[in-house]
Every structure is written in C-alpha cells, then in structure tokens.
Amino acid sequence: MSTQRPFKPVLFVIACLWSAGWCEIDYASKRRELVNDKLRKAGIKDPQVIAAMLKVPRHELVPKNLRQHAYLDRPLPIGEDQTISQPYIVAYMTEQLKLKGDERVLEIGTGSGYQAAVLAEIAKEVYTIEIVKKLGERAKRDLTRLGYKNIHFFIGDGYRGWPKKAPFDAIIITAAPNHIPQPLVDQLAVGGRMILPVGDRWQELILVTRDKDGVKKEKLIGVRFVPMTGEAEKK
C-alpha cells in the first residue's frame, strides 16, 4: 500500500478548513505589524494616517482566497485586471494630501474601496468614481457593510471628475494617465492638493497644489499603477 495515500485526505481537509475561514487569523495584530514594522519605518508619520491604516480592515476588501496576504505590504489582484494598492503607497499618497478632517475629497478609481476607506477615516466627505461597474458596485456593497456613511459613489469615467460636487479640497487618482487631466485641476479648490501617478509603464507621483497665484506641480517618487482607462487613453 502506498505510503502517500493517507496524506491526501489530510491536505484536503486543511485546504477546506482554510477556504471555509475556519483558520483563525488575528487581523488586528497583522495590521499593527504592518503599520509598525513597515509603514512607520518607511517614513509615514501623520497621526491621522497611521490611525486610519490601523483601523481599515484591508482583509475585508480583497478576495477571500487572498485574505491571509492582506497585511503584506504589496498590491493584490481584485479581478477585472485591477489591484488593491500597496498599503505603503496608500498611506504615502494620503499623507501628501495633508488632510485635517473637514475636507471634501475626490477619488478617481475606487477599485477595492481601500483607499476610499482610508480617506473616509480622516476627511469629512469622500466622492469616489469607478469606471468598471462590477468593481464599483462591489466596493459600494463592501464599504456600506463596513459602516462607511461619508463615501459617495459614482460609476463612470473619472477623467472629467464630478463637476456637480466641485470644488474639492483634495483629489487623488489611483490609476495612471500619461498626462495630468485638466478637468481635475480645474475642480481643485484654492488651497487644495491633488496627487496622481503620471506616465506609461512606469510613472512618477505628481503633487499638484493650487493657491491664489496659480497651480504648482512637484515630482515625488517612482511608482507603478494600472493605466487610467476611458477618455484618458484618447488624449
């Protein structure tokens, strides 16, 4: 009799237990490890950003079969050729917006809803646009289930922003156009800040600020995001 046969059922049972969610994981501890061992050491300092990263349950916003990887500092696939962003990049981009708590923020690219949730922990109101209907609807269900009431959702092309709700104190784009969309610059309030990746295969994060004298642009760090689709591709 083969000595390998008894092990097959055992492996099958373990796999079933894992897929059924019977393997207990202390997600709160995993979040603390991520924040303390990765984000703080990488330079994230804003207390409100740290608090948001400690609170938002990233594992609730990824596919169930990837939840054990939710608090690794890396992007993960969420379907439709899209990803949930690396936690460090989410924290870094949020920190660059310098939110105080009373802002109205526009996000282009809802995706999993993770960035929107982090923003909603700090800002007064978050308006988020997703071009992929399936992702936008799933994010709305998930964030509603998690109790977020200050996030407003729209399914559509975010290139021209959300004019009826403008101006915004901050704008964040989580997909990469190869240029800075002018309609979004136009919707940025005086004193506002916008951050976005710009480029093709590899991009740079650009910080756009508006003051009474006009608009300024600053290059920050190199990144890699999925491309911005829709009208952005035609420009």
For residue 29, indicate whether it is catalytic.
Answer: no
Q: Which of 73, 61, 58 is nearest to 27 (CA)?
A: 58
Q: Which of 2, 19, 29, 85 is catalytic?
A: 85
Buried b vs exposed e over 193-226: b needs ≥16 C-beta within 10 Å? Answer: bbbbbbbeeebebbbbbbeeeeeeeeeeeebebb
CA distance 155 to 42: 34
- Integer Cα distance of 123 and 52 in angstroms: 11
The pair of three-digit structure tokens given for residue 197, joined into one six-digit string: 């990746």
Would the CA dihedral through 133, 139, 145, 149 be positive or negative? negative
What's the DSSP call for residue 227?
B
Gap between the Cα atoms of 118 and 150, Å rounded = 12
Q: Are 69 and 76 in contact (CB under 8 A)?
A: yes
Kindly tell me the number of DSSP H helices and DSSP E strands found in the chain.
Answer: 8, 9
Positive or negative: CA dihedral 151, 156, 158, 163: negative
Catalytic residues: 85
